C-alpha cells in the first residue's frame, strides 16, 4: 500500500512537471507569421525573430549600450552615419515624427547606430541625434563591436574615397530595424521611409507580437 502511494505521488509530480513544461513551451511558441498589407511595401517580418549575439557599444552620452538595453522595450534602430548626405537625415526625421505618435507602446525607444565609428565619436553622435530629437539614442563604438550587431542584421557597408584623409562616403544598407521587448530583431523596413509607412508597420508589429 505504501509503495502504491509513492508511485501515485510520483505520477502526480511528473504530471505536474509536464503541465509546467507545456505551459512554458506554449508561452514561448512563435505565433503564425504576421501578414503585412499589400500597400505596406518593403516591410519584412522575421519569423522566428533573430536573436542577437552579445555586444557592447557606447551611446552618445558615453554610456554602455548592450543587449540589456534592448530588453523590456520596443526599439526602432536605423544604421547610418553623420556625414550621410541624404537617406540618414531623411530617415531620422521620420523617426522623430514617429516618436511623437500618440499610440506608440509606452516602452518604445529610437536608436541611430553609426557604421562610421572613425568619425562618429560620442560627441559627434550627440550633436547629430539631438538635432533631430533628443529621444534618439546615438550608438557608436569600435568597428569590431559594431560589426557584432551589424552582421546578424545584414547591415552591409563599405567606404568609398580617401578614408585616411576623412574624405569619403559610406555606402550602407538603410533599413529601419524593429526589436521586440526580448531584444530580438522582429522585422525591418526597407526604404524609402515615410512617417505613415513606419508608424503603421510598427503599430501592426507591436500589437501583434506584444
Domain ranges of the chain: 1-30, 35-208
pLDDT band at 7; cut points 50, 70, 90:
low
Over 50: is that where the pLDDT of 25 sits? no
Of the ranges 49-63, 94-108, 134-148, 195-209, which one carries the lowest mean pLDDT score? Answer: 94-108
- Strand ranges inside the chain, DSSP E: 43-51, 56-59, 64-66, 74-80, 108-114, 136-140, 157-162, 167-172, 176-179, 184-189
The per-residue pLDDT for range 173-207, each reduced to its tens digit, is 999 999 999 999 999 999 999 999 999 999 999 99
pLDDT at 5: 57
35-208 CATH, one of 3.40.50.300, 3.40.30.10, 3.10.620.30, 3.30.460.80:
3.40.30.10
Helices 122-132 and 87-99: crossing angle, nearest 10°? 60
* pTM of the shown model: 0.86
Percent helix, strand and coil across the chain, each rounded to 5? 40, 30, 35
Report whether 164 contacts 145 (CB < 8 A). no
According to DSSP, the residues that pair with 75 across neighbouring strands are 109, 179
Per-residue model confidence (pLDDT) at position 3: 52
Residue 10 has a pLDDT of 44
CA-CA-CA-CA torsion for 156, 136, 92, 179, nearest 10 degrees?
50
Amino acid at each position: 500500500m505504501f509503495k502504491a502511494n509513492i508511485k501515485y505521488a510520483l505520477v502526480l509530480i511528473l504530471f505536474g512537471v509536464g503541465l509546467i513544461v507545456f505551459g512554458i513551451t506554449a508561452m514561448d511558441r512563435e505565433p503564425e507569421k504576421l501578414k503585412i498589407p499589400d500597400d505596406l511595401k518593403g516591410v519584412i517580418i522575421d519569423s522566428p525573430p533573430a536573436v542577437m549575439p552579445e555586444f557592447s557599444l557606447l551611446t552618445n552620452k558615453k554610456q554602455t549600450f548592450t543587449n540589456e538595453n534592448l530588453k523590456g522595450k520596443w526599439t526602432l534602430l536605423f544604421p547610418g552615419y553623420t556625414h550621410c548626405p541624404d537617406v540618414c537625415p531623411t530617415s531620422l526625421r521620420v523617426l522623430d515624427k514617429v516618436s511623437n505618435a500618440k499610440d506608440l507602446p509606452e516602452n518604445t525607444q529610437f536608436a541611430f547606430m553609426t557604421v562610421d565609428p572613425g568619425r562618429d565619436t560620442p560627441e559627434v553622435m550627440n550633436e547629430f541625434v539631438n538635432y533631430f530629437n533628443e529621444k534618439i539614442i546615438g550608438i557608436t563604438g569600435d568597428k569590431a563591436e559594431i560589426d557584432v550587431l551589424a552582421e546578424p542584421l545584414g547591415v552591409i557597408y563599405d567606404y568609398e574615397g580617401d578614408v585616411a584623409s576623412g574624405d569619403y562616403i559610406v555606402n550602407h544598407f538603410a533599413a529601419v530595424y524593429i526589436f521586440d521587448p526580448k531584444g530580438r530583431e522582429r522585422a525591418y523596413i526597407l526604404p524609402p521611409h515615410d512617417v505613415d509607412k513606419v508608424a503603421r508597420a510598427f503599430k501592426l508589429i507591436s500589437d501583434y507580437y506584444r
